[in-house]
Amino acid sequence: MDTSNYGDNSGPGERKAAEYVAGLLADVQIEPQVFESEPGRTSVVARIPGEASDRPALLVHGHLDVVPAQKQDWQVDPFSGEVVDDCLWGRGAVDMKDMDAIILATIRQMRHEGRRPPRDIVLAFMADEEAGGVKGSSWLVDNHPGLFEGVDEAVSEVGGFSVELQGRRTYLLQSAEKGIAWVRLVATGRAGHGSQVNGDNAVTHLAQAVARIGAHRWPTVIPATVQAFFEGVHEQTGVQLLTGQEVDVEKLREMFGSTARWLEATVQNTANPTVLEAGYKHNVIPGQASALVDCRFLPGQRDELMRTLTELAGEHVKVEVLHSDVALEAGFEGGLVQAMRQSLLELDPGAAVLPYCLSGGTDNKAFSRLGIRGYGFAPLKLPADLDFAGMFHSVDERVPLESLRFGVRAFDRFLQLV
Ligand SMILES: [Zn+2]
């Protein structure tokens, strides 16, 4: 199902997928509630009573939208869901219809066998995650907070997958995520004829600001989760990736392959210029020019990022925040973490489990406004040679069927332990 999210409401929306999910839930006597923030932008929420309904509930959530895919770049039709070489191919195979499917398969099996989870579970399948959750998780939290009454913890995407760490399968659980600040730089200057001397050219001001920001080397900062990750790596392999405030990036890349791209970004803030907008005629100097910059900050680093950004932008360039969301750090203690760890290790004895910080963001940000602590736990036992991190938002996104089967077994075990 094509649920591409272009970020401007021009896509097909999530309704078709939401109706499909609602049908699968209704089929096993779970009553789905369907919500639309705007026509076609559909989310599904349902509550399953647990054995101990006096305990806080667990939120299990996934998003139904995906980033767009250019068919001509792919080896298969990105919305065909083809199975080739024992892999399921298609946009959303790892981000995150794989996990949506794991959740649905697990819950339906549980119902077929007449089992109840230890505590109440709230299921939520959301619209619009790929554009910051404004029309999905954020809208639900603002307009229907009662749906999440009594929920204290949540699990969702981009954690629980395996990497090969010096020959030992190691599962990375996501227990922190960076914050987002999508900003626009607006340069102003003196408009005029392109043939004249102009020391106050908005395009020049903007270009200088963009160059300064893009080239800035952000200082290394190590959040507690990342510290715990490095300590875990050291314990497991004897390799010290962190000395004082210095991270051995070469070694990190050597050890983690493509996953290192995610990990590298969790020891510093980032600010990447992505869009330039200026001018309308070759011989006209515009009075204004603007650029978009994608900034991501570590937990506790938002003010520092904004301060540096403003300084780098300089006197002729204003920094406007278009979209901003919190950084999260949930910690790596407690029963829920123990349940994630145990479910993986029971099914894959001899493996290791480490916490990590996600360099991107998830719907956990919106739910944190209700005091819900969120983790990334979409369990996948992956072949060592699969470029998993490289699949996200990329061409030929795919997931091994065997990894999905493992995911269902691990998630089922997890839901028995929570
Ligand atoms: Zn996702």
The 10s digit of each residue's pLDDT in 391-401 is 999 999 999 99
Looking at the DSSP assignment, which residues form a beta bridge with residue 125? 44, 62
In contact, 106 and 17? CB cutoff 8 Å: no
**Dist. CA 234 → ligand 1 center (Å):** 29
CA 150 to ligand 1 center in whole angstroms = 25
Tell me the CA–centroid distance for residue 119 and ligand 1, in Å: 26
Q: How far is the CA of 65 from the centre of ligand 1 (A)?
A: 8
Lookup result for tokens 């667990």: 58
Residue 271 has pLDDT above 90, yes or no: yes
- Between CA 81 and CA 77 the distance in angstroms is 8
Q: What is the pLDDT of residues 310-365, one digit of tens each?
A: 999 999 999 999 999 999 999 999 999 999 999 999 999 999 999 999 999 999 99
Q: What is the DSSP string of 187-227?
A: EE---EETTS--S--HHHHHHHHHHHHHH--PPP---HHHH
Label residue 156 by pLDDT band (50, 70, 90): very high
- Cβ(174)–Cβ(358) under 8 Å? yes
Ligand 1 centroid–CA 64 distance in Å is: 9
| 157: pLDDT strictly greater than 90 | yes
CA 245 to ligand 1 center in whole angstroms? 31
- C-alpha of residue 31 to centroid of ligand 1, in Å: 25
Query: Which pLDDT belongs to residue 264?
Result: 94
Confidence of residue 244 (pLDDT cuts 50, 70, 90): confident
CA of 196 to the centre of ligand 1 (A): 50
Model pLDDT, residue 254: 93
The arithmetic mean of pLDDT across residues 101-105, rounded, is: 98
Residues with CB under 5 A from ligand 1 (ion): 95-96, 157
**Residue 114 CA to ligand 1 centre (angstroms):** 31
pLDDT at 53 over 90: no
From ligand 1's centre to the CA of 342, what distance in Å?
Answer: 24
Per cent of the chain over pLDDT 70 is: 100
What integer pLDDT is reported at residue 376 of this predicted model?
97
Q: How far is the CA of 412 from the centre of ligand 1 (A)?
A: 21
CB of 116 closer than 8 Å to CB of 345: no
